[in-house]
Amino acid sequence: MAADAVIGADVEIQAGAHVASGARIGDRCVVFSGAYVGENSRIGADSVLHPNLVVRDGCRVGDRVILHPGVVVGADGFGFAWDGACHLKIPQSGRVEIEDDVEVGANATIDRATFGETRIGRGTKIDNLVHIGHNVVVGENVLIVAQTGVAGSCRIEDGVVIGGQVGMIPHVTIGKGAKIVPQSGIAKDVPPGE
């Protein structure tokens, strides 16, 4: 653990976990073995970080959040530009913001934003093996079921339910309260309540 990390009261950090410089961990958190909490990241109170997950530098996790084994918060978004000869990497300098009472299933990934933030709203539940692309905004109390892929810059409004193995193209909006059946391919906006 870095000497300048700030650790709250009654926190359990197990052997083999790494808490980097400038990180802050709130009261009553549990950080299991193999978890990595990056530089200047923030973990809210009463959160649980299960084994072998990563919260990358500068990302923020709210209160009462559960991150299951293998979760990656804040990996680079998939950003490349063709220069005529090869694909050049576009720097991904944003962050991820996870609000309170969110649960993220095993081996799910939430990419950092190119600029600004990728946001997961309060009370949202994300199942195993879900991918959330860069600059996605997920509203409050959303359910996203296993193996769903949400492409960059999509917007998912409050109360949406997304079945398993759904795929979305970039920049679509799923309206408030909409329900997406499993294995759907979303290529245009979905109106609220649809």
Catalytic residues, by residue number, are 134
Q: Which residues pair with 138 in a beta bridge?
A: 120, 156
Report strand pairing: 80-82 vs 87-89.
antiparallel
Which helix (H) or strand (E) element contains residue 168?
strand 167-168
Residue matched to tokens 């949400």: 150
Report strand pairing: 12-13 vs 72-75.
unpaired
- At residue 95, what is the residue type? R
Q: Which residues pair with 19 in a beta bridge?
A: 37
* Torsion-angle region of 99 (φ positive above 0: left; ψ -120 to 50: alpha; else: beta): beta
